[in-house]
Amino acid sequence: MKIEWSDGISTSILLEKLRDECPCAMCKGEQIMGQTISLGMKMFAPGMNDLEKLVPVGNYGVQATWKDGHDTGIYPWKLLRQIAVQNALSDEQLANFMA
Ligand SMILES: [Zn+2]
């Protein structure tokens, strides 16, 4: 997936990474008393790394709906940017990926 940012930067990342970083309670565990409790839901489901749609949520960020029906992950813009920058593919990687 390619993301174009309003400041002129564009980043390409694998959808897999985006799904990996899904910030919802089911994927990231619940914050209870300051501790992250993993709910152990990291199971592979068909279509889980395929993006169905991205819907903007006000000024807050975007809500991702995945082909496995998972749609509780809302990525604040800041997090999306962070994921995109940290997992950005180089042109070379991108070329290999497309090949
Ligand atoms: Zn999630």
User: Domain locations in the chain?
Assistant: 2-98
What integer pLDDT is reported at residue 98 of this predicted model? 75
CATH of 2-98, picked from 3.30.2020.30, 3.40.640.10, 1.20.58.480, 1.10.620.20, is: 3.30.2020.30
Distance 96 CA to ligand 1 centre (A): 28
Q: What is the rounded CA–CA span in Å between residue 19 and residue 66?
A: 8
Average pLDDT estimate for 60-78:
95
* Confidence band of 37 (pLDDT split at 50, 70, 90): low
Predicted TM-score of the model (pTM): 0.79
Q: Look at phi and psi of residue 73 and say left if phi exceeds 0, alpha if psi is from -120 to 50, else beta.
A: beta
Distance 74 CA to ligand 1 centre (A): 8
Q: Is the pLDDT of residue 76 over 60?
A: yes
For the chain, the helix, strand and coil percentages under 3-state DSSP, each to the nearest 5? 30, 30, 40
Distance 88 CA to ligand 1 centre (A): 21
